[in-house]
Structures are given as structure tokens and as C-alpha cells.
Structure 1
Amino acid sequence: MRSKSLKSFLYYAIVTVLALIMIYPVLWLFMSSFKPSDTIFVTSDRLIPSPWIWDNYKIGWEGIGENSFGVFIKNTLVIVVLSTFGAVLSSAFVAFGFARLKFFGSTFWFAMMMMVLMLPSDVTLIPQYIIFSKLHWLSSIKPIVIPQYFGVPFFVFLIIQFIRTIPYDMDEAATIDGCGKFRLFFRIILPMVAPALATASIFSFYWRWEDLLGPVLYLNKPSMYTVSMALKMYLDSETVSNWGAMFAMSVVSLVPVLAVFFMFQRYIVEGISTSGLKG
């Protein structure tokens, strides 16, 4: 019993130390949001602010120019919600086709999709920009949102693995009851792959929320800027950067991310773990 207790104590001690090491950058960010901008990096070895500067949050929320930080959060939420809905729904459609429908060249197209998954996104930047320019979509959220409605390879692969855990007997029973392919998808498959859909939604939320490259390329008006672009605007290489306000708004921007994580973390584990099984 003593040996078992000692092992448990060492285990929890090591895990606690590792957790503190991993959470320290976030804690440093939070504490730095209460420091004067000119002392953040001078006193970086001192975690507790002295004095506490609460005005960083007020100044940061006032935003840039005529746009408050609330405008940037609203713009980001619009992009995130539209992109996530399109990415998850379209990926579920594609995954259902690969997992349940028999069509000519399915293996070839699945292999092509996996190749796209392994293709670096930087390779497609210039061709995509040219296409969106010819479509007159620049200076709008269309280049960021609309491509999500054609499926995301990673989500397709994730949902395919989940659909394959559903017995084919469910499809046959639904077909006998008169369900067509669309009713089978919406009434039977979609509710049963809810954990995978939730996992894909969470990942899509995170990716779109922290995306900087897409908004920088396609959003040219300050009133359309996202949170990531707004945070970048607090830094100026030619004048004094407002690090205090930037860190304060970084903390604010973390609130939706942390809220989504703590509300749906069980779906992340369940979706990823179950997607590796095949019934």
C-alpha cells in the first residue's frame, strides 16, 4: 500500500508540474495585460504586476480608429459561424457519399482527397487569390466562407471513419421503411454521427477564430477586420507598440475559445477516439 501511494503521489506531482509549465505562458499573458506597456518585457521575470494597470482593457476595447474591439469580435463570429456550418454540413455530405454510396472511381477520388489533405496550404494561395480576384470577391468574406461549403478533407476523413462504425443493417432497415438516400442521411446517419460533427465544429471554430492569413489577404477595410487582425494593429514597428492593450484584448479573445473548449471537450475526446474504430 505504501508503494502504491508513493507511485500515485509521484504521478500527480509530475503531472501537476507539467501542467504548470504548459499553462505558464497563458498565465504570463494574463498578468502582462495589467502591466504598463513599457515595463512588460523589462520586468518579464516578475509575474505579478506592480502597479496594476486596469486601463489596458479600456484602451484596448476602444479599438482602432472608429471601430471598437466589439466590432472585430462580431466580424470574427460571423465568419466563424458561417464557415463552421458550411464546413461541417458539406463534409458530412461528402463523407456519407464515400462511406455508403457505390460509384465509379470512388477509390480514386478518395485518394485525391487524401492528397489534398497532405498538400501544404501555401501552395494554393496564389491560384486561389487569382480565382477570387476574377470572381470579384476581394474585400469581402466570400473567399473565406464560401470554400468551406465544398468540404474540408480532414473533416471528411474524420466523419467517414465514424460512419463506418454504423452497421449497414441500419441502412437496410431504413430503406425497407421507404427512406431514400437524403432521408437516410438526415434521419439516420446524421444524428448517429453527432460526436464527429461536434468535433469537426470545434476544430473549425478554432481554425477560423485564429486565422490571420485569410483575412489579411481578402479583407481590406478596417470595419471588416477580424480579432487576429485587430491584435496585430496594436503593434507598430515605426512607433511605440501598445503591448498592454494588445495583451488585454488577447485575454478577451481567449474567452470564447476557452468557453467552447470547456463546454464541448467531451465531444473532442469521444469524436476522435471513436473515429478510429470500424465496426
Structure 2
Amino acid sequence: MSANATNMSSVGSSSRKGRTGVKRDASKLIWYALLIFFSLVAIVPILWMVSSSLKTNLGVFMVPAKWIPEDPQWSNYLHVFTDIPFFTYFKNTAIITVLGIVGTVISSSLVAYGLSRIKFKGSNIIFYLIIATMMIPPQVTIVPQFLIFKQLGWIDSLKPLIVPEWFGSPYNIFLLRQFFIGIPKSLDEAAMIDGAGLFRIYWRIILPLSKPVLAAISIFAFMFFWNDFFKPLIFINDDSLKTLTLGIMDFKSSFNIIQWNYLMAASALILLPCVLLFFFAQRYFIKGISVSGLK
């Protein structure tokens, strides 16, 4: 009897394990199906953009749509460089992006360092106020900014797109502060014993240990500055100062006719650096977002 009971219990245990394994596999299958579906939702517009960039302007609106053009119009990409001052727009965008990234990383890391490592009265209140500004839409503050920059004589220059980024970004400050908190303070104390000051600790210890989160912030900043359309539209009117996102609208003629195939070719070229950056830097991006601190 005892042997039969043991066999029955082992059979029951294995059947339960089997059901658990089936449920686990079914759950994974559902998650994979959802991931594939949402990936397709994100990828299909990009594929349509690339496909349209190789068509004629009338072919873009052909029904049913042909995803692979029979006669690819590679000359559309040549028109991007000849019909608009593409390299001028590229230079302006590169200047804004590089200086914006440097300003964002330096200013945000300094503020985050002060809030995470230097204890003073009201530091938590200041941090909460900084976080609270994240809830204010940028469209609300754009009019006061425009009036200020107009008084400074900065309209129709790159300064409104660069200088504000040297005063910190709330989200980046939050991300960096959380990462800095995870770094043991014993490293600061050891450095102080050796005679290091606060800035030297920040520059020689904190920043080198924070490469993953700094890389993530740099990627965020690159994506923002490279693809920003709203601010250049507000502050720039001079054609020689336009950015790529603003300049490609030159394909829209005075008769309100848009050369969609040229526009899609220009958009594909603008998107390419973002794709390459994320492809080669995704491991740093994931490490930075995890906010794991020092292990």
C-alpha cells in the first residue's frame, strides 16, 4: 500500500509540474506574441518610410501599396543633397546636439552630485521642486522663454537651443541622483582622507563609476536634440540656421505641394544616426536605465 501511495504521489507531483510547465510556456508564448505585435507596430512606419523614399511622388500614394518598388528611385537621395542645403542643416544640428549633450551631462551631473552627496538644509525640498517641474508641459513655458530670448537678442540664433541645456534637466538630475546614491560613500571618505576636495571626488571618482548612466543620458540627449522640431520652429527663421528637422520642410513648395518621396528620403537619412547610435550603445543604455549603482 505504501509503495502504491508513493507512486500515486509521484505521479500527481509530476502531473502538477507538467501543468505548471505548460502554463509557463503558454505565458511566455503570449508575451512573445505581444512583443512581436508591438514591434511590428513600431517598425512598419519605418519600413513604409524607407519604401516611400525609393518611389516616385505619385507612387507613394499608389493603392494597393507596393512595399518593394519595381524601379527603385535611388536618385531621391541625391535630391536631398542638391535641392536643399542639407550639409548646412546637418552642421547646425550637429553643433546643437554636441553642445547640448555636453551641457546636459555636465550641469545635470553637478546638480545630482550636490543633491546626493552633500547634505544641507532644504536639499530634499529642492530635489522635490526640481522633480515637480517635470509635470509642466514645455508648451506652457515656451512663451516666457521666447520673450526672454527676444529681450536678450537671441532670436534667430542657436543660443536659445543650447544655453538653457547648461542649467540641468529634471529627468536627468533624477536619474543621476539615484545612481549616485548607489555608490558607497566610503569612497568619498577615503578620498577626503587623501586630501581630495568635493570637485575632485566628483571628477575622479563619481563620474568614472557612472559611465553607464552617463551613456544613457547622452543617448537621451542625442535623440532629443537631433530630432527636436518644436524649439527650432519657434526660435529660428533664418534659413542658414535651420536644423535638419526644420529644413526638410523646404520640400514643401509655395503651392503647398510636398515632394513626399524626397521628404521620406531626407527623413531616412536623419533617422540613420539615431538607429546606429542605439544599436551600438544599447548595452550602456540598458545598464544606465537599470539604475543599479555600484555592485
> Taking structure 1 as the reference length, what is the TM-score of the superposition?
0.91
1:215 lines up with 2:215 in the alignment? no
Return the match for 2:275 from 258, 262, 268: 258
**Equivalent position to 1:176, from 190, 193, 199:** 193
Residue 75 (structure 2) aligns with? 55
Answer yes or no: is the 8 Å Cα contact 1:164–1:278 preserved in 2. Answer: no
Residue 10 of structure 1 deviates from its aligned partner by 7.2
Q: Does 1:32 align with 2:52?
A: yes
- Correspondence for 1:204: 221
The aligned counterpart of 1:141 is 158
* Percentage of pairs with the same residue: 38
> Out of 192, 196, 199, which is 2:209 matched to?
192
Q: Please give the residue correspondences for 1:14-29 in structure 2 after superposition, counting only pairs within 5 Å.
A: 15-29=35-49
SS in 1 for 2:133: helix
Unpaired stretches in structure 1, ≥5 consecutive residues: none
Q: 2 CA distance for matches of 1:259 and 1:113?
A: 32
**3-state DSSP class of the match of 2:69?**
coil
Give the distance between the partners of 1:251 and 1:106, measured in 2 at CA: 45
**Contact kept in structure 2, 1:206 and 1:257, CA below 8 Å:** yes
Q: Look at both structures and tell me which one has the larger radius of gyration over its CA atoms.
A: 2
Aligned length: 275
Contact 1:88 1:197 in 2 (8 A): yes
Determine the structure 1 residue equivalent to 2:3.
none
Q: Which moved more, 1:82-91 or 1:70-79?
A: 70-79
The structural deviation recorded for 1:46 is: 2.2
- Report the RMSD for the aligned CA atoms in angstroms: 2.3
Any idea what the Cα deviations from partners look like across 1:2-24, whole Å, max 9, x if unmatched? 96997577765664454334311
Q: Name the residue aligned to 2:6.
A: none
Residue 45 (1) aligns with residue 74 (2): no
Question: Contact 2:104–2:167 (CA<8 Å) still a contact in 1?
Answer: yes
Deviations 1:88-139 (A, max 9, x none): 1100000000001122321221121111111111111111111111111111
Moved over 4 A (4+): 1-18
| Candidates 89, 94, 113, aligned match of 2:130 | 113
**Structure-2 residue corresponding to 1:160:** 177
Q: Determine if the alignment matches structure 1 residue 226 to structure 2 residue 237.
A: no
Does the 8 Å CA contact 2:184/2:294 hold for their aligned counterparts? no
Give secondary structure in 1 for the equivalent of 2:215. helix
Aligned equivalents of 1:211, 1:240: Cα separation in 2: 24
What is the TM-score when the length of structure 2 is the normalising length?
Answer: 0.86
Q: In 2 relative to 1, CA 191–43 (structure 1 residues): closer, same or farther, beyond 3 Å? A: same
Query: After the TM superposition, which residues 57-96 of structure 1 pair with which residues of structure 2 at under 5 Å, given as runs?
Result: 57-64=77-84, 67=85, 69-96=86-113
CA distance in 2, matches of 1:21, 1:105: 46
